[in-house]
Structure formats: C-alpha cells, structure tokens
Structure 1
C-alpha cells in the first residue's frame, strides 16, 4: 500500500510526541500525598509555568526528569517563590528528587520555568 504525502503527514501529526522532561510536585515529603505533574516536548527555549495550582505554596517534595536521549534534549527547571516566574530560588539541570524542607523551601513553590536545549548540538 502506498501513502500520499498529505496522508503520511496527517498520520505523523497524530503520533504523540515523546516528552523531553517531566516534573511531579507532591504536597507531602517523600513523594507522598496529592500531586500535580507536567511535562513537555523540550523545544529549545524558555517557558514560564505561571502557577502550580492547586498546590500553590503547598509543595513539599519534587521528582524531576530532565533529559530525553531519544530527542537529544535536556531541560533545566527553575523554581520560583512567586507566581509568574518571579524570585527564582533553585535550578536543576539533571534528574532530581528533593524534599524541600531539607533546603529551606518547604511550601514555597508558586511557579516554575523550563530552559530546554540540545546538549550535544549546543555544547
């Protein structure tokens, strides 16, 4: 069976994009309690996630996955204690788990941003 270019492009557009990064924010220490999660394709550049509702100022631990070897992408994550990505406190550029009480940031996360790049191409 032969596909025409428009049909092949439509099929490719329907295939889900593999995520380059993923973050889990937990209300309690040690990845316990209610959580929110987000992820993205890792397109090069900066993106602000202006709030972390419904856990604004209630996050006690985090698990972050920064890389996707298949996409040759790495994303750094920056945490802020104010909405709209203001007042940065911590940045992580590799896979990370943290209990925020251990770094004096318990219940302080209000927003976050990602900075994504291609480590081999941009190095």
Structure 2
C-alpha cells in the first residue's frame, strides 16, 4: 500500500502542469489580509477569455500574476488585461505579459477592476 502511494505521488510530481496561467486578486485595504481574494487559472494553447471576479468586484487592491505554465520549459505564454465593466469592456490596464506581484494603486486601478481577460498562445 505504501509503495503505491509513493508511486502515485512521484507520478503526480513528474506530470506536466495543466495550467498555463494563474492569477490572485486580493482585497487588502488598510493592510488587512482578511479582505478576501479571488484565484483562477487556465489552460494553455491558444485563445482568450473574459473572467469575472465575484464578490471582489471593485475591491481589488493587490494583484499577483503568473503568465507561463512552467519556468523551466514553458509551452504556453499568456497575458492579462484588466477592465472596469462587465464583459471585459472599458480597459483599465494591460496587457501584462511578465509575472508580477503589485499593489493595484501603483497601476492606478485600485478598487476599479470588474473583469479581466486572459489571452494565451503556444510558445
């Protein structure tokens, strides 16, 4: 039994990553990390998609973005663009291709994000 668990864990560790991008949107107003967060990830390949952020609508104060499915040998690259309206209308900022972790105020979009669009392509 222990051997099969170890084998399964090893196989999982060696399996390729299935997501090409990952985003974390935080509500850290007043320096309080209890304001909630939104996280999402998506597949690689080619295409774009608009995403909603649920209860963090117009409450995002920090953003963490990962644009590739692997740092060592990526197969996909993605960018992210932020919008002020439903359906990814009224662009606020972006597209951003590189990984980053930033205060939304630095980008001039603190508490303004309603939706975001991801766009990916194979490398």
TM-score range with shorter-chain normalisation? Answer: 0.7 to 0.9
> Which region of structure 1 is more displaced relative to structure 2, 64-73 or 78-87?
64-73
Which residue in the other structure is 1:27 paired with? 27
Gaps of 5+ in 2: 1-14
Q: Distance in 2 between matches of 1:85 and 1:43?
A: 21
- Name the SS for the 2:57 alignment partner: coil
The answer for unaligned runs of 5 or more in structure 1 is 1-14
Give the TM-score, by structure 1 length: 0.75
- After TM superposition, which residue ranges in structure 1, 4 or more long, deviate above 3 angstroms? none
1:114 is paired with a residue whose SS is: strand
**In structure 2, which of residues 71, 80, 83 is the aligned counterpart of residue 80 of structure 1?**
83
In 1, the alpha carbon distance for the partners of 2:41 and 2:17 equals 11
TM-fit CA distance, 1:16: 9.1
Mapped to 2, the partners of 1:32 and 1:75 lie a distance apart of 27
- The residue number in structure 2 matching 1:63 is 64
The SS at the match of 2:117 is strand
Corresponding position of 2:111: 107
